[in-house]
Chains A and B, each alone.
Chain A
Amino acid sequence: MNRQNRTEKRWPARVMILVILVLLAVWLQSVHARSGWQQAGFTSFSLGFLLLLAYVSANLLNTARIPLISGYIFAGMVIGPHITGLLSHVMVTKLRLVDDLALSFIALTAGATLHLKFLRKRIVAIVLNISLLTILVFVLVSGFLIVAGPFFAFARSLSRPQIIALGLLIGVIAVARSPSSAIAIIRECRASGIFTETVLGVTVAMDVLIIIFFTVALAVSRMITAPDPVLNWHVFSALLGETTVSLMLGAVLGKGIAVYIRKVNRDLPLFLLFIAFGISKASFWLDHFMEAQYAVSLHLEPLLVCMSAGFAVQNLSSQGARMLESLERISLPIYVLFFALAGASLDLTALRMTWPVATGIATARTIGIFLATWLAGTIQGDPPGHNRIAWMAYLTQAGVAIGLAQLAERQFPDIGVYVTTLVLAVITINQVVGPVTFKVALEMVGEAESV
């Protein structure tokens, strides 16, 4: 049976699920809750509803080659407070408890997909791509925002230093890409080859580096927006210390996970869930505790700890495959919820106001990626055909970028909402376009087995 026939057979069942879910939601919305228990019940219903609706509609959209992650975000947008209102603002806020967990999970998976052996083999190409991508994308995107930002309506209420900070933060976030999307597409196409491996290496390694770049951007932005701007070099030494401690802690934790897998090897998915959740919460707790008790700012970066832990399990033990398999078993509900909630929390009113900027950022980012990959390929002496289309493989953006935007929102309440809205708008564009272009690129270089 060919793909088209299979698709034709499947879509009526998927549509039926959506119809049933919507009917149930409409029915429940008409019920007047008399007690706190009934109101809490509606929150639970919304969570189950969101999970199912996002997953089924993403699968439905996937038949039109729209990637699943884009489908989750889109489903979240549709049922969120701005379009149908099936999920209210309050409910979305309540359900966002899962954010930190999901981000830690994504980081753990990203770390575990990095193979040291492969990284060594393609190290020059990867370093060259990463360096050029970081510099050019950052310069073009932040430059665009700093120069053109004041001409847009949303920025009129912002001061010059705030616009510069906004440019720096979004410029750094624009460098991030999505390992989960990249891996999903590579698996979907059963792709393999030099092009595929280089893209994977750059994408995953970039997700480690982006956290360091982002922390630097946060420190510089804090300095710029402070009433008394002084470049505090102590911030950078503290960052270096925090990064080192986070990486080391992650490595130790990774060894611990490997020992658990080797010796206990029970309930591994749940153990990893607990670890991911524990790291994200313990980092925040330690941060607050040290600040409140000793006036010491010790900010361990949970994403970096998790990524380092995943990397350690994969490369310093023989348990990497087992861990990846376990992560995959339970990652689906977490991913669906995370991306659907990210879509539901999109401020579409702000998005309507900022779409010209979002398009501008996406364009600047794409130009930066094109220049960087073309230059890197030319220096490396890669085939010209590859160099011309390599940019298509780097557009996808998701989890970590959203997480970074949220961190920025917490650190800079004045400009944070713009950062999140713009980043989500750009991600929405990139997540719809990026996976499709990546798939096309894999086909064009002849590394995709099936399409």
Chain B
Amino acid sequence: MKIAFTLLIIIFLVFSGYHLTFRNVRLPFLARQFYFTGSEFLFLGVLLGPQFLNLLDRPTQNSLAPFISLLLGWIGLIFGFQFERTKIKNFAKSSFTAAVIEGTACFVLVFFAVYCIAPLFLDIPGGMKGDAAVVLAATAACTGQSGLALVVLEYGARFGRLSRFLRLVSSIDGVVPFVIFGLFFSWRIGGLPYLSGLGELGGGLIVLLISCLGALLIFVFFLREARKESELILLLIAVAILAGGMSSTLGISPLFLTFLLGILLVNTLREKERIYQILITVEKPAYLAILLFLGANWRLTSAWIVPLAVAFCVYRTLVKVSAGMFVTRLASSGEGRIPALLGFGLLHQGGLPLAMLLDFQQGFLFQGASGIVGLVLLGVLFNDVVGFFSLRRLLETSMQ
């Protein structure tokens, strides 16, 4: 009864909430910012979690595993579907390279800083320093598009060229860090005893490839016939749950597996547009549900978390600005003149880091993991506010 009731509450909150959220309603700035990005769902999650109502406790979350698999699988597919070869080819090569370099540089710089400093303040066992550093660096490197959307809503679409470039960077810069995160996940958690000869990473990769191939072939054979929309919905739900569950069992990242599957599907299937239309119908509700689950497990485990989160965000800002400065030189040839302080427009983190965080939370159950989740969540909230101001300033400056 509790599981059903909790699921009912989640469905209600998510579907009633998403029509009200993501809108530019007339509210005081901070409240609007909070509301627009759906951050209130993090706090609703805290309310549902063990600290208050105890509806979304650990056993209930375990029972809702298929639902979590569906969420991660769905988001992974959507992310993968953005990498259609023909669309990517439309971008200037230099801009694409710049976006990739920016993301990778951020990942590397945050990784080393976190690896050296975070264990001093958070209760992270020695062997898990790398795990913490990878997830923090990967989530920090991603840039979301919600900040840009909010500024455009606020001021109208006046910043054509620069906002186009920012949109490109924010959709591409998370790729390399995300791939590193996915491979790291497979290396740390995955691998099967009979593949030990290939090494932990090799074994994880083989498992990943076989799983991905299996799911892809199901799609390919299923779509050999003309299918109705209801059949495509069935296929997507079933494959998202199947792939999510399969990857959990095999110890690989559900999000990463479905991301790879999404890339393969969008570049091989004729039905890709119909599938994508179904996928994006529930993108926002899926994202809000992820926030609820993250909120339910949010703990401020140490007094250091808040100052550490502020320091982390300041450092991330510095890294983004430095990386931005570096890549503007590369991109300026393809996109015209790009402002050197581009990095100030890349502070919003968006939904992908949250999905990665939920993925991490499910797979990495070590002491101190909840501290890392808390740190990232605080960082996301902080960046949502700061990111808006800095992006607006950047765009206004570029207009002058």
Chain A residues with a Cβ under 8 A of chain B: 10, 13-14, 16-17, 20-21, 23-24, 27-28, 31-38, 40-49, 51-52, 55-56, 94-95, 97, 100, 266-267, 270-271, 273-274, 277-278, 281, 284-285, 328-333, 336
Contacts and interface: CB of A to CB of B under 8 A. Distances in A.
A41 B244 contact: yes
Contacts of B4: 97, 100, 277, 281
Interface stretch (B78-86, B151-159, B232-240, B332-340): B232-240
Chain B interface extent, by class: 35 or more
A31 B250 contact: yes
B399 interface: no
A273 B247 CA distance: 28
Contacts of B233: 329-330, 332-333
A19 to B, nearest CB: 9
Interface of B: 1, 3-5, 7-8, 11-12, 15, 19, 62-63, 65-66, 68-70, 192-193, 210-211, 214, 217-218, 221-222, 224-225, 229-231, 233-235, 237-251, 254, 282, 285, 362-363, 365
Contact of A55 (B7, B210, B234): B234
A51 B240 CA distance: 11
A10 B238 contact: no
Nearest to B362: A37
Contact of A13 (B70, B211, B224): B224
Q: Which of A35, A52, A277, A331 gathers the greatest number of chain B CB atoms within 10 Å?
A: A52
Q: Which of B211, B251, B254 gathers the greatest number of chain A CB atoms within 10 Å?
A: B251
A278 B239 contact: no
A51 B241 contact: yes
Contacts of B285: 270
Contacts of A48: 66, 69, 237-246
Contacts of A266: 19
A51 B239 CA distance: 9
A35 B363 CA distance: 9
B15 A281 contact: no
A328 B250 contact: no
A14 B225 CA distance: 10
Given A55-B234, A331-B230, A16 B217 contact: yes
A271 B285 CA distance: 13
Contacts of A336: 234
B221 A31 contact: no
Nearest to A53: B238
Nearest to A44: B245
A321 to B, nearest CB: 16
A366 B221 CA distance: 41
Given A17-B221, A36-B62, A44-B65, A271 B15 contact: yes
A14 B221 contact: yes
A41 B248 contact: yes
Q: Which 10 A-B pairs have the closest CB atoms?
A: A41-B248, A48-B242, A44-B245, A45-B245, A40-B65, A48-B241, A51-B238, A44-B69, A41-B249, A13-B224
B62 to A, nearest CB: 5
Nearest to B66: A44
15 contacts: A14-B221, A36-B62, A37-B65, A37-B248, A41-B246, A41-B250, A42-B249, A43-B245, A44-B69, A45-B246, A48-B245, A55-B238, A97-B3, A281-B8, A332-B230
B63 A94 contact: yes
What is the interface of chain A mostly: helix, strand, loop, or mixed?
Answer: helix
A31 B66 CA distance: 19
B221 A52 contact: no
B254 to A, nearest CB: 8
B11 A274 contact: yes
Nearest to A270: B15
Nearest to B231: A332
Contacts of A17: 217-218, 221-222
Nearest to B63: A94
Contacts of A100: 4
A55 B227 CA distance: 13
A329 B230 contact: yes
Nearest to A266: B19
A47 B246 CA distance: 11
A16 B231 contact: no
B249 A38 contact: yes
A274 B221 contact: no
A47 B238 CA distance: 8
B225 A13 contact: yes
B230 A328 contact: yes
A44 B67 CA distance: 8
B8 A277 contact: yes
Q: Which of A10, A40, A49, A331 gathers the greatest number of chain B CB atoms within 10 Å?
A: A40
Contacts of A37: 65, 248, 362-363, 365
Nearest to A328: B230
Contacts of A38: 248-249, 251
A94 B15 CA distance: 25
Given A13-B225, A267-B15, A333 B237 contact: yes
B239 A52 contact: yes
B234 A281 contact: no
Contacts of A55: 231, 234, 238
A270 B10 CA distance: 13
Given A332-B230, A333-B237, A49 B221 contact: no
